[in-house]
């Protein structure tokens, strides 16, 4: 098995989980495919919204569903930056950076708050000083690529109270971190939480995300309800997934167990591995151009060199076999560099 894996590329660069969804979810999506000459119905979307409401412990009225968290983040950035000042953290989810940098061309000012190494913590005080004239602040929590929680509830409260615009929090890895501020939406109309079913629920290929936010934000998004609506197979699969979340919890359990194994083994090699509450690990390898070198050995990891130095890699936690293949390649490049 290991040999087979090493003979082809092992992709550990997109934070997907390695387990396919249960048969009942595949069947539900297939059922929708048979009717794919029809658009999805409002009633189907309502059923999904109701299930998401129970799952997230949020009011149905505060949920907006879209075709993936990325597209929802992009829409919020475009709608609410208002050619004002957008504050993001650095490093952050590369898509947030890319969209924000695009907005510069239409007159939006971007301020990146550099996370403080070595812990990658958020410097809260200087951030708050910058909020008064900010239209939008975007924070991924947990942060990607560091894997750590950047804002706790007290900080979130302070930020919501200081900012003149919106605070957008990307909780894409909530199921792994088990930390959320989504319930604070009812107290802060300027708080927007984005989540996804691409990670722990294992539906990355179906692209379904949702927003939990106050009325004003959702009103601003209302005209985009149709264009952003997910496909019917996505809606059907998500409904089925939410009916019984046992498999998702099992996915998380397996990934966390593997994550800690990979963390320990990589640390034993002398690689600096950052603590993570997600399904990926950030590593400082001490090997120049580490991602490229791993790629040459057939292991594709995320190369964060646009935001960090080229010794860093971000590796998604895969199956045990995939992780073993990664560890084997990591060992090779670490030894080569020491020689």
Nearest distance, CB of residue 310 and another protein, angstroms: 8
Nearest distance, CB of residue 126 and another protein, angstroms: 4
Burial profile 218-238: b = 16 or more Cβ within 10 angstroms, e = fewer: beebeeeeeebbbbbbbbbbb
Backbone φ, ψ for residue 151 (5° rounding): -125, 130
C-alpha to C-alpha distance for 77 and 75, rounded to whole angstroms:
5
Query: Which DSSP string do the residues of 27-47 spell out, in sequence order?
Result: HHHHHHHHTTTSPPPHHHHHH
Nearest distance, CB of residue 54 and another protein, angstroms: 40
Which is closer to another protein, CB of 47 or CB of 130? 130
Closest CA to 317 of 261, 271, 264: 261
Nearest distance, CB of residue 94 and another protein, angstroms: 12
Our measurement of the distance from residue 3's CA atom to the centroid of its chain's CA atoms, rounded to an integer in Å, reads 31
Nearest distance, CB of residue 81 and another protein, angstroms: 11
Which is closer to another protein, CB of 188 or CB of 312? 312
Question: Which parts of this chain interact with another protein (CB under 8 A)?
Answer: 90, 101, 104, 107-114, 116-118, 123, 126-127, 130, 305-310
Which is closer to another protein, CB of 111 or CB of 254? 111
Q: Is 90 in contact with 144 (CB distance < 8 Å)? A: no
Neighbours of 333 (CB within 10 A): 25
Question: Ramachandran region of residue 268, left (φ > 0), alpha (ψ -120 to 50) or beta?
Answer: alpha
Burial class (CB in 10 A: 0-12, 13-18, 19+), 112: middle
Q: Is the bond preceding 90 in cis, omega lying within 30 degrees of 0?
A: no
Nearest distance, CB of residue 98 and another protein, angstroms: 12
In 220-278, the DSSP E strands lie at: 272-273
The HSE-up count of residue 251 (CA atoms within 13 Å, CB side) is 26
Nearest distance, CB of residue 26 and another protein, angstroms: 41
Which is closer to another protein, CB of 157 or CB of 284? 284
Nearest distance, CB of residue 305 and another protein, angstroms: 7
Handedness of CA 126, 131, 133, 139 (dihedral sign): positive
């Amino acid at each position: 098995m290991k040999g087979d894996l090493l003979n082809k590329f092992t992709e550990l660069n997109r934070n997907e989980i390695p387990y396919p969804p249960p048969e009942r979810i595949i069947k539900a999506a297939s059922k929708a495919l048979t009717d794919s000459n029809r658009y999805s119905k409002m009633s189907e979307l309502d059923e999904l919204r109701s299930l998401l409401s129970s799952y997230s412990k949020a009011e149905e009225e505060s949920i907006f569903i879209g075709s993936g968290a990325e597209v929802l983040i992009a829409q919020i950035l475009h709608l609410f930056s208002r050619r004002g000042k957008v504050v993001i953290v650095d490093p952050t989810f590369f898509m947030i950076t890319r969209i924000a940098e695009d907005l510069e061309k239409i007159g939006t000012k971007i301020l990146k708050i550099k996370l403080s190494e070595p812990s990658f913590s958020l410097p809260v005080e200087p951030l708050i000083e910058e909020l008064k004239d900010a239209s939008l602040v975007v924070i991924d929590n947990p942060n990607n690529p560091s894997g750590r929680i950047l804002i706790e509830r007290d900080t979130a409260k302070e930020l919501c109270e200081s900012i003149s615009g919106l605070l957008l929090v990307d909780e894409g890895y909530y199921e792994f971190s088990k930390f959320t501020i989504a319930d604070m939406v009812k107290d802060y109309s300027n708080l927007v939480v984005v989540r996804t079913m691409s990670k722990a629920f294992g539906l990355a290929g179906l692209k379904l995300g949702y927003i939990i936010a106050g009325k004003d934000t959702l009103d601003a998004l209302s005209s985009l309800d149709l264009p952003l609506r997910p496909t019917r197979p996505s809606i059907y699969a998500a409904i089925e997934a939410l009916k019984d979340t046992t498999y998702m919890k099992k996915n998380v359990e397996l990934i966390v167990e593997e994550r800690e194994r990979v963390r320990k083994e990589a640390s034993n090699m002398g690689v600096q591995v950052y603590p993570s509450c997600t399904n990926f690990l950030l590593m400082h390898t001490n090997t120049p151009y580490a991602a490229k070198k791993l790629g040459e050995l057939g292991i594709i990891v995320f190369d964060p060199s646009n935001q960090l130095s080229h010794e860093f890699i971000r590796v998604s936690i895969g199956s045990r076999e995939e992780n073993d293949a990664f560890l084997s390649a990591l060992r090779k490049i670490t030894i080569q560099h020491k020689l």
